[in-house]
Structures are given as C-alpha cells and as structure tokens.
Structure 1
Amino acid sequence: MRRIQSRFTHTITLRVRDNQLYGHPSPADFPAALTHWRKLRRLTKKALSEAMGFDPSYISHVESGRYPASEEFARLAEQKLSSAGELWRSWQAAPHSRSTPAGGGELFVDLDHAELRYHNGTYTASMRRRVVNGGNEPVTRYLARISVDRHPGRPELSNELYRNHPLTWERLNLTATCDGEPMVWVAKHDRDSFKEVWLSFENENSMFPLYPGQSASLEYSYVVGSDQWGQWFQRAIRLPTRAVSVELRFPASLEPGVWGTETSTTAAAVPLRSAIQRQEEDGEVSFTWHTIDPPIGARYRLEWRWRSNPEHDAEARPALRTASDRMRAAGIVQEGQEILARTAQPFRLPEEAKQAEEVVGQLHRAVQRVRDHHHFGKGMGLAAPQIGVDRAAAVVLPPNPDAATVLLLNPVIISESSETDSQYEGCLSFFDVRGLVPRSRRIEVEHTKPDGSTTITVFTDALARLVAHEVDHLHGVTYKDRMAEGVSPIPVEEYRGTGTSWSYDRSTVTTSPAEE
C-alpha cells in the first residue's frame, strides 16, 4: 500500500482490491467517502436516495459538503453501501459528530431542512425535520408554526389584508407524515395570519409515539398564494438543533435575487454569516444555505425580489421608471408623508430594549432590499421613520465596506465643528434628485445603548455627513432644509458623482468669521 497527495484537500489511500485500484478518502472526510462508496456500488444519487428514503437533492448537498450528514443518514448509508464500517468511522471522525445537542435530555432536532418553492403565483413550503427523543418519556406530538406577512415593515397594510382575507386551513392544505405514516393534527392557535398546530404521532389506523432514544423523520407541507405571502422566509430555532438548511426554488425567468439576515434574542440583525449558494438548472434557480449548531432563539430570514418584474408577481408595477420608484418598491416612505416631518419617539431604555432590537432588525432588512436596487459608493444610512416606524433609531453603513455598521438609538448632535464643506447628498425618500448641502466636518453625537447607558461618539468627514443626515431624519428634518438659500436640488440625471466617494480637501472647506 502507498500514499499520495491528491489535488484535493484530503489524502487519498490507494489499495488493490479484486484486481482494481480504488481511491479511499481520509477517515474524517465523510462527503468524499460517501461519493466513493456510492460510485463503487455503481449507484446514482437517485438510486441511493430511494434506497435510503432521502431526497436526491439531500444526497447531492451532503456529497458537496453544503449540508452536514446526520447520524441517521450516516447509519443508513453504511447499511445500504456495505462499506465494512468505513463510512460510519468516517462520520464519527468528523468534528460535528463529536458534539452533543444542547439541552440534553430533551427533544432535539438532528437536521432541520426547509424548502420553499414558487410556481404560478403559489408558494409551497415543505419542512423536513429529523427529531430525536433525548428525554425519559415518550413524545406524542410536535408543535409546528405557520406565519405569513404580505407587507413586511408595513403592519397597517398587512393587518387590513388579513382582516379582510384571513389565512384559512382549507387553503393551506396542511399535510404531515412521520416516517411515511400520515399524522393527524389539531389547531392550537388560529389567527388571521398566524397558525400553530399540534402534529400528533398517530392516525386513524395506529399510534407511533417517539420513545426515549428513538428518532423519526417528520415532514409537513402547506401552500399559500402570493396574494398572502410576502417575499421572505424565516426559520426560528426553538429546540436544540444540530444543523439547519434552507432551499428556495424559483423560476429562472423571474431573475430572482436573494439575501438574508440573522438575528437572536440578544443581537440585532446582521447579514448571514455564510454565503447563499445559487444554482440554475432546467429553467429553475435554487438558493441554498445552511448552518451548524445554531443557538436557541436564533432567527434566519431570507428575502428576495424578482428582477424581471413579471406580471404574475403580486408586487409588480408597470415599470419602476425612476429612482424613487425603486426606493418605494423597496419599502421606503416617500416625501410628503407626515411621519417624515415630525420628531421620532425616543426609546425608554433598557425597558424597551426588545422593541429597539425589533426596529433595528427591520432597518437592516430594509437596507438589504435597498442595496439590491442601487450601489452606494459613499455609504448609506436609513432612519426608522423612512420605513414607517415612528421611533428614534437609525443605522449607517460607512463608505468603507469593511467598517462596522453604526447603530444610533435616541441620537442627538451635541457639538459641531465650525469647519464645514458642501457636498451633494441623496435621500432615499426623494431619490430622483441630489442636493448640495453644507455640513460640519466633525460632529459629536450622544446616543443611548440598549442597556440604557449613554455614550458620545465623534464622527468626521463622510461618516459625519451620513450620521448627521440620519439624525436629521429622526428630528423631522431633511437635507432640503439644510441647503443654502436660493439653491435647489438637481435631477439625478445631471449628477455626475453617483457610485463614487466624497472627496475632502481644503478647497471645499469654509470656516466661521471668528476663525478667519
């Protein structure tokens, strides 16, 4: 036997068996081992998936390394491929197999896979969870939740919609199985846009409780029309979970764009920590994402838009002709709305820390939507009133893409330098024009942290301009109010600085008479 280093990242062992030369992956490389033994047994992914009772796409994801293999999957693979224990040893050697779920002694989820498919105006959601009873008593039911929001960030529209057209069980057409056995279900909560249902481990013919130490595959699905489903999909971690994966499937003709954010009970929304993978085949585009060992309370939200703006997209308009049209489509309140002209309500912190977290999460999601419409070379900011929320919160993305996002709660500018300059600014609430605005090059801002403490932060030049713009919004002021007398905004078509950073030099600076 001899060893060589392959062009892959794992080591290959060559040995002679039955007068043939076979390559064997290193013990800890389960995806490569699975591929090796599947090909050795001359099985396609579809044939192996049928033998194991898994979807063919799941086999592909495990072999590519996008999804981790569950313990049940590894045991079944060993059984069906007869690798003399090599597959099982390979899975055991992988880092994930040595971790144990948090909250031992409880029901936990080995694998949570969700798929959402859109076709001809209808969304079909399919959930598959491999659950394990780590407790001491049999489990007889499982709680599932269904929540929809047609107009994220605009509760008044969603409330009116579901009040007049509530989500119904008949239209949902909920079905559920446990290891292939149909499950009966009982409604726990039945609200206009939110449902909770107990999936029972029984049907009219038998009972199949989940006993301690046993595992089972739960699958349930339901359908919702695009008239009731907004363009977002969220997974919330409520049980100890080893791995979560999500797959979105859309017609390629819609030219879909997908992004995502992560939030928790203690942190504001941030972009997903790992990239969403895109693949196109046979006229359909799939977007897949997964994570390992998610914390309890984490929420993973994926959102999308149709770039082709087809007529069967419920959000479609004849055309998004102007820059303001695009911002309006992204959910930004436009000029003329009363909320932009008044001072936003401050947060009482730390008592309202939870409310502040929710508003900041809405701002981050709106930023993602806006950035899908426009590239911001100068950085950007967004204040809560601009998404219809009357609270004193704003986020600012600095011009440097590697710099941290600035979070502002109850901000007040307490000091400004006399040294100023004038630069053109844009505003998402009237994005068809740009205005030449004089601002201080250095400002000091007092703002509140979620724990209720206050801090003072100094901002200079471009970041000072961005922050001042958003603080103004929280006090009912727009940049038009800051422009010099007799100066008017210019059409965005005449502006030549789109996509570039502001420049700062002495020629742009003015000083007060006292400093001349």
Structure 2
Amino acid sequence: MTGQEHPSPFAAELTHFRKLRALTKAEVARRLHISPSYMSHLESDRERGSLDLVRRLDQELDAGGKIWKAWKEADAGGRPVQEAPEPSPSTGILVLEDTAALRYDGSVYHLTMHRRLRNTGTEPITRYLVRIAVDRYPGEPERSNALYRNHPLTWEELQLQAHCGDEQMGHVVKHDRDAFKEVWLEFANTHSRFPLYPGQEAGITYSYSVTADKWGPWFQRAVRLPTRELTVSLSFPTALQPAVWGTETSLSANFAPLRTPPTQIIDAEHTVYTWTTLDPPLHARYRMEWRLKSAHLQESEPVNTPNPSALMAAAGIVQEGDILLQAIAQPFDLPAEADEARHVVSELDAAISRVKQLHDFGKGLGIAAPQIGIGRAAAVVVPPSDGSTSIVLLNPTIAEVSTETDRQYEGCLSFFDVRGLVPRPLHIVIAHTDIDGTPRLTRFDHGLARLVLHEVDHLAGKLYHSRMEPGTQPIPVEEYRGTGRNWTYQ
C-alpha cells in the first residue's frame, strides 16, 4: 500500500472485476503482456499504471468503464488526475501488421520494414513518420559519438526507398543528425497523391542499408502506435555462427527477457531468427542483440559476447531482481486445477529444453515456475544421468531433513554469472501432490536432494544467497572449475 488504510477506488475496482471474472493476477498479466509482479503492484496501490494500460484492463475485464473511471479519480479527495492532452480515440492509425526484417551479408546490414495500416480516424492520413538510429558501441556513448562525428550516417549511403503498394512514396526530412534520422514518408509522389482515407487499409514498405562499421550488434523495435502483430526477422551468414537473444521494456515493466524465444532456421548459407508477438503494449520496446564469430575480427575489435545471465534471460528465465522471485508461489488446488498444473509443467519442460541448448548441466538441473514468470507451486528437476525421467513436483514442502550436511557450489539460472558455496542436508523427504490430488512423500539423497531443495527454495521466494554461510560470497563462473561435472560424495 502507499500508506493508505484502505485501497484506492482504482485498486478496489481492479481486484473486484478480476475476481468477478475468476482470473488470477498471473492470468490477467499474461493477457496484457505485463509481469505478474506489476499486476500485484497495481492491486496494492504501489503502482498506478499508464493511461493505455488502464484502458486495456477495463476492456479485458469487461468492467464497463468502472476501472477506467476509478483510475481517473485522485487517490485523495476525488480530484481528477492531471493528464496531458491526447488525441481523440476517433483519430489515428492502427498497425495491423508490423514486419521488420534485417539481413546481414557480411559487410552491410539491409533492412526492410513493412506496415499494414488502417486509418481509424476521421481525417485522411497523408504521411507516416520513420526513425533510423545507429549505435556501433552500445554502452559506450562517447566512443559511438566520436565515430559518428568523424563519419556521420548519410542519406546517400542509406539509400532509403519507400512504396505504398505499387506507388513510390515521397519523403521530407524532419531530423538529420550524425547517428539519428527522422523522415516523413508521404502518401504522394511527383505524379500522384494517394492519401489513406478513414476506414481504408494500405501496406507501406521502406528499406535502407547501413555498413557494418556503423551499425551495432542490435536491432530495436519501438511500439509507437497501436499494433496488432509485430514480427522481427534477423538473417545472418551461417558461417558466422550467430547467437541471438532479446529483451523488452515497457511503461509497466523494466528490462526483461522476451517472453518467448526467437525461432531459428538454419541452412548452409543463412541462419534466420524470427520472433512474433501479438497486441504488444503501446510504448513497449523490443531489442534483439547478437554475437557473430569471424576470423576477420581485429584483435582490438570488441566482440559482443553475451554473459551467461543474458543467455538465460533470452531463453525466457526471469532474472534476479524480479519481485516474482521473492514471492511465495501459490499452491494448486488438486485435482480441481489439474489442467492448469499440466499447462505449467508443459511450460517448464519447454524452458528446460531451451536452456539445455545453452549449457552442459553435468549436475542435472531444475526450474521452478516463478523462474518462467508463473507464480504457482510447481517445479521440474532433471537428474544428471542420461535418459533419466524428469521429476515433477507440485506443491512441494520439506517434511524431513537429515542432520548430515555438506557444502557444494550451486548455480542459479536467474543469476547464472556466479556460483555460490551452499550448505544443504544430505538426505531429505519432500511432501508433494500428484496431479490427481494424491499426497506423496518422496526421499531424495545427495545431489538430487540439493537440486530439489534449490527449487523448493524458489517456490518459497528464496535464492541460494540466503543459505550461504556468513562472510561467504559467490564467485564468478569463470573461476569455477566444476562446470559439466557432477558433485562428488563419499
């Protein structure tokens, strides 16, 4: 709460209509493409949400404008919220399809953007704004600025081309800076005018090229207009062994991995990554980054190598700092929630398949539902032996632990850049529930006990830091010598 004794009218209405529709916070968050932790903040008055988000909440929960009306009331005194003027809903552009394709040929990046637009307003649309930005050295602004001061990006090298259907589009430059361009694409040329009238749809396509010495190892799409579908495609020479990962930010969520990984298609010549999302929130930014291997890189040339945590984030693993990792997971009501439990386990299995491609888990591995953005009491543990059956744990709690303990280094997918020396019991008994509601007691020993306890901790909102002995600190993964090998026991 924000110091209030009672929830604000907005928080109360939001909670009321969510429960009325028999939806969990996680389910609403998933539908609106926001984090479950942010949904909790909204209902507890720790966050107010954006104007666009509140409208979407009202629509999703079929609240008839009541959530929206409550949000517009001030938290104290019923004063109206001061808002910046915004365009009438009767005017504007709806992007039905936004497809962005980047192709690298080994020396030049070629970009092609396609938008399927609908005029949802009351006036003809005569132009469309396009932005082009480059940053050769992300995270090193002084170095990038020096590069573009000496070698600015020019319109001549961009070779911008734009069409609406078969018609070439004219363009008018709005901003022309060393590393940033803005241009209005006009629904007109020297021979014709073809405005987009209210209710009409049209497809526009524009393309440009940037040399590799000016384009950085990243590509970002910002959602500036209401959009139904957004697709990003990246194509690289297979010989460069590309590795791609992605992140997203929005007004309602900080930096986070993409909720789904890009798909990958490889042939002898090209490796193509494709990622799609539906109904992305307004003002969201989706950033794809990559690493390329090349025998021609100078020794001093920086190579954008993703650290282990970045790779896990790209695989959809929630990273340390997310409130969901600090919360107690909600148990399943079994067998009533059997279908929901099966769905969560299926998502965990898919996540395990993704991370297995990124690391050699010689000790086995486990993933708890909060680590993939689901606040439910489920975890899957994979023993180290080849061909071993995965262990599914629903509503697990610790029933018994041995007095015998040992200390071993553990890693966590949610902060995979380090390893920590953690004391754990050698033998445990876990109480858990079968999918049909049958209660179980299962004994685990040694390394398997360690794996299980690590995941049970996640479901209790704990990370292994809290288990380490006072004065002990995690070590960088580069200093750890046990990667790919199982723990040893007497």
Q: TM-score, normalised on structure 2? A: 0.50
Larger Rg over CA atoms:
1
